Amino acid sequence: MKKTVLDHALKVRLPITIVVILISFALTFYLSRAERDGVGYSPEQPIKYSHKLHAGTMKIDCKYCHNAVDKSRHAMVPPASTCMNCHQIARKDKPEIVKLKKYYDEGKPIPWKRIHKVPEYAYFNHSAHVNKNIDCISCHGDIAKMEVVEQVHAFTMGKCLECHRDPAQKMPYIKDVASIKKGPEDCGSCHR
Amino acid sequence: MSTKQDNIKKTIELPVMKSGTSSSKNKFWKSLNFMENSNSKEVKKAINNEFSDGVTDDFNIDELEPSSRRKFLALMSASSAFAAVACTDYRDKGEIIPYNNKPEGVFPGIANYYASTYTENGRGWGLLVKTREGRPIKLEGNPDHPINQGKLNAVAQSSILGLYDPTRLQSPMKKSGEKFVKSNWDTVDSEIKSDLSSASSAGKEIVLLTNTLFSPTFSSVLNDFKTKYPTTKIVSYELFNENNKLEAWKSCYGNENLPIINLDKAKVILSLDCDFLATDGDEVENARMYASAKDVNNLESYSRLYSIEAAMSLTGQNADYRMRLTPELQYDLVLSLINAVIKKGINADSSVASKVSGYNLEKFVSENGLSEIATNQLVADLIHHKGSSIVLAGQTLTTEVHIAVNLLNDILGNSALYSKENSRVSYNSIANNNDLKSLVSMMNSGKVGVLLNLDTNPVYHFAKELNFENALKNVNTVVSISEFENETTKLSSYILPANNNLESWSDAKVRTGIFSLGQPIIAPLYDTRQKESILLTYISNEKYTNEIYHTYLMSHWETKVYASANVASDFKTFWLSCLHDGVLKTKEAVTSLGKLNSSSFVSSKNTLSKNGFTLILKPSHFIGDGRYANNGWLQELPHPVSKITWDNYAALAPKTAKKLGVDTFGQIEVSLGDKKVTLPVIIQPGNAEDTISVELGYGRTVVGEVGTNVGVNVNIFLSSNSSSNWILIGANAKLVEGAYKMASVQEHHALDEKSGMLDIKDLHLKREIIQESSVVEYKANPNVIRHHQSEVTSITSAVAYPGVKWAMAIDMNKCTGCATCTASCNVENNIPVVGKDQVSRGREMSWIRIDRYYAGTPEEPIASNQPILCQHCDNAPCENVCPVVATTHSADGLNQMAYNRCVGTRYCANNCPYKVRRYNFYDFRDNLLDGYYYKESVNLIHNPEVTVRSRGVMEKCTFCIQRISEERQHAREQGRAIKGSNVITACQEACPTSAIYFGDANDKDSVIAKLREHDLGYHVLAEINVKPNVTYLAKLRNVQTEGAHSEHH
Which helix (H) or strand (E) segment holds residue B1015: the answer is none
The confidence score (pLDDT) of residue B241 equals: 87
Structurally, chain B folds into a number of domains equal to 4
Q: What is the mean pLDDT of residues B765-771?
A: 71
User: Inter-chain contact B98–A79, Cβ cutoff 8 Å?
Assistant: yes
The confidence score (pLDDT) of residue B66 equals: 46
| Residues B964, B874 share a domain | yes
* Interface with chain B: mutation pick from A176, A186, A190, highest number of B CBs within 10 Å: A186
The confidence score (pLDDT) of residue B554 equals: 93
Structurally, chain A folds into a number of domains equal to 2
**Does residue A176 form part of some domain?**
yes
CA torsion, ordered A122, A128, A133, A138, to nearest 10 deg? 10
Provide the percentage of residues in chain B whose pLDDT is more than 90.
48
Distance CA B567, CA B22 (A): 61
The confidence score (pLDDT) of residue B350 equals: 81
| Residues B724, B825 share a domain | no
Closest chain B residue to the Cα of A73, Cα to Cα = B109
Q: Where would I find the beta strands (DSSP E) of B150-262?
A: 173-176, 179-182, 205-210, 232-236, 259-261
| Residues B263, B227 share a domain | no
- Output phi, psi for B1033, to 5 deg: -90, 120
Provide the shortest C-alpha distance from residue A58 to chain B (in Å). Answer: 23
Owning domain of residue B986? 2-54+747-1048
Distance CA B170, CA B742 (A): 34
| Residues A116, A68 share a domain | yes
The confidence score (pLDDT) of residue B14 equals: 35
- Output phi, psi for B483, to 5 deg: -80, -35
Q: What is the mean pLDDT of residues B570-598?
A: 87
Distance CA B383, CA B407 (A): 14
Q: What is the mean pLDDT of residues B32-55?
A: 64
**Does residue B118 form part of some domain?**
no
Query: Which of the 8 DSSP states describes residue B20?
Result: -
The confidence score (pLDDT) of residue B753 equals: 45
Look up residue A171 and give its amino acid: M
pLDDT by residue (tens digit) across B620-647? 999 988 899 999 999 999 999 999 999 9
Question: Cα angle vertex B35, ends B34, B36, to 5°?
Answer: 100
Which of A73, A121, A186 lies nearest to residue B891, judging by beta carbons? A186
**Does residue B289 form part of some domain?**
yes
Closest chain B residue to the Cα of A81, Cα to Cα = B101
ipTM of the prediction: 0.88
| Residues B348, B262 share a domain | yes
pLDDT by residue (tens digit) across B682-717? 999 899 999 999 999 999 998 888 888 889 999 888
Q: What is the mean pLDDT of residues B715-741?
A: 86
The confidence score (pLDDT) of residue B128 equals: 94
| Residues B673, B560 share a domain | no
| Residues A88, A166 share a domain | yes
Domain final residue, candidates B369, B400, B423: B423
Neighboring chain A residues of B972 at a CB cutoff of 8 Å = 127-128, 131-132
- Output phi, psi for B987, to 5 deg: -70, -40
The confidence score (pLDDT) of residue A14 equals: 92
The confidence score (pLDDT) of residue B576 equals: 93
Neighboring chain A residues of B945 at a CB cutoff of 8 Å = 123, 192
**Does residue A86 form part of some domain?**
yes
Q: What is the mean pLDDT of residues B1033-1037?
A: 91
pLDDT by residue (tens digit) across B417-433? 888 888 888 777 888 88
**Does residue B660 form part of some domain?**
yes
**Does residue A110 form part of some domain?**
yes
Residue B95 has pLDDT above 50, yes or no: yes
Contact by Cβ (8 Å): B849, B753: no
Provide the shortest C-alpha distance from residue A33 to chain B (in Å). Answer: 13
Distance CA B134, CA B525 (A): 12
pLDDT by residue (tens digit) across B257-285? 888 999 999 999 999 999 999 998 899 99
Residue A43 has pLDDT above 50, yes or no: yes
| Residues A63, A122 share a domain | yes
| Residues A83, A165 share a domain | yes
Q: Which residue(s) pair with B514 in the sheet?
A: B511, B585
- DSSP result, B802-844: -S--EEEEEETTT-----HHHHHHHHHTTPPP--HHHHHTT--
**Does residue B772 form part of some domain?**
yes
| Residues B793, B868 share a domain | yes
- Output phi, psi for B375, to 5 deg: -70, -40
| Residues A162, A74 share a domain | yes
User: Inter-chain contact A35–B91, Cβ cutoff 8 Å?
Assistant: yes
Q: Which residues, in sequence order, are CB contacts of B920 under 8 Å at separation 6+?
A: B845, B949, B950, B951, B952, B953, B954, B955
Q: Which residues, in sequence order, are CB contacts of B505 under 8 Å at separation 6+?
A: B518, B519, B520, B530, B532, B549, B550, B553
pLDDT mean across residues, chain B? 85
| Residues B486, B440 share a domain | yes
pLDDT by residue (tens digit) across B853-868? 888 888 888 888 999 9
The confidence score (pLDDT) of residue B754 equals: 40
Which helix (H) or strand (E) segment holds residue A158: the answer is helix A157-165
Look up residue B855 and give its amino acid: A
Ranking B58-67, B90-99, B940-949 by mean pLDDT, the lowest is B58-67
| Residues B319, B303 share a domain | yes
| Residues A159, A129 share a domain | yes
Closest chain B residue to the Cα of A43, Cα to Cα = B92
| Residues A10, A96 share a domain | no
> How many CA atoms, within 13 angstroms, populate the side-chain half-sphere of residue B857?
11
Ranking A118-127, B702-711, B801-810, B922-931 by mean pLDDT, the lowest is B922-931
Q: Which residues, in sequence order, are CB contacts of B945 under 8 Å at separation 6+?
A: A123, A192, B962, B965, B966
The confidence score (pLDDT) of residue B755 equals: 39
| Residues A18, A91 share a domain | no
User: Inter-chain contact B892–A104, Cβ cutoff 8 Å?
Assistant: no
**Does residue B80 form part of some domain?**
no
Q: Which residues, in sequence order, are CB contacts of B435 under 8 Å at separation 6+?
A: B235
| Residues A152, A111 share a domain | yes
**Does residue A40 form part of some domain?**
no
Provide the shortest C-alpha distance from residue A10 to chain B (in Å). Answer: 37
Residue B357 has pLDDT above 90, yes or no: no
| Residues A93, A16 share a domain | no
Q: What is the mean pLDDT of residues A85-89?
A: 90
Closest chain A residue to the Cα of B973, Cα to Cα = A131
| Residues B447, B359 share a domain | no
pLDDT mean across residues, chain A? 90
The confidence score (pLDDT) of residue B503 equals: 93
B949: left (phi over 0), alpha (psi -120 to 50) or beta: beta
| Residues B653, B532 share a domain | no
**Does residue B136 form part of some domain?**
no
Higher pLDDT, B792 or B254: B254
Question: Cα angle vertex B297, ends B293, B298, to 5°?
Answer: 50
| Residues B961, B990 share a domain | yes
| Residues A86, A17 share a domain | no
Q: SS3 letters for B257-317?
A: CCEEECHHHCCEEEEECCCCCCCCCCHHHHHHHHHHCCCCCCHHHCCEEEEEECCCCHHHH
Closest chain B residue to the Cα of A67, Cα to Cα = B107
Q: What angle, 0 to 180 degrees and rounded to 10, lies between the N-to-C axes of helices B531-539 and B548-556? A: 90
pLDDT by residue (tens digit) across A92-102? 889 999 999 99
Residue B355 has pLDDT above 80, yes or no: yes
**Does residue B598 form part of some domain?**
no
> Could you tell me if A44 lies within 8 Å of chain B, comparing CB atoms?
no
| Residues A24, A97 share a domain | no
Provide the shortest C-alpha distance from residue B141 to chain A (in Å). Answer: 25
The CATH number of residue B412's host domain is 3.40.228.10
Q: Which residue(s) pair with B678 in the sheet?
A: B669
**Does residue A77 form part of some domain?**
yes
The confidence score (pLDDT) of residue B764 equals: 42
- DSSP result, B80-103: HHHHHHHHHTTT---EE---SSPP
Please identify among residues 53-112 of chain A the ones whose CB lies closer than 8 Å to any CB of chain B: 68, 70-74, 76-82, 103-104, 107-112
Closest CA to B304 of B1046, B1044, B1049, B1047: B1044
How many beta-carbon pairs below 8 A join chains A and B?
A: 130
Q: What length does chain A have?
A: 192
The confidence score (pLDDT) of residue B868 equals: 93
**Does residue B959 form part of some domain?**
yes
3-state secondary structure (DSSP) of residue B172 = coil
Ranking A125-129, B91-95, B414-418, B503-507 by mean pLDDT, the lowest is B91-95
The CATH number of residue B534's host domain is 3.40.50.740
Domain final residue, candidates B694, B725, B744: B744
Contact by Cβ (8 Å): B163, B502: yes
Which of A77, A121, A192 lies nearest to residue B96, judging by beta carbons? A77
User: Inter-chain contact A68–B102, Cβ cutoff 8 Å?
Assistant: no
pLDDT by residue (tens digit) across B470-523? 899 888 899 999 999 999 999 999 999 999 999 999 999 988 889 999 999 999
Contact by Cβ (8 Å): A164, A176: no
Q: What length does chain B have?
A: 1049
Closest chain B residue to the Cα of A107, Cα to Cα = B100
Distance CA A98, CA A103 (A): 9
Which of A114, A121, A128 lies nearest to residue B899, judging by beta carbons? A121
User: Inter-chain contact A68–B946, Cβ cutoff 8 Å?
Assistant: no
Higher pLDDT, B196 or B747: B196
Owning domain of residue A148? 51-184
Which of B92, B94, B888 lies nearest to residue A187, judging by beta carbons? B888
Closest chain B residue to the Cα of A187, Cα to Cα = B898
| Residues B439, B402 share a domain | no
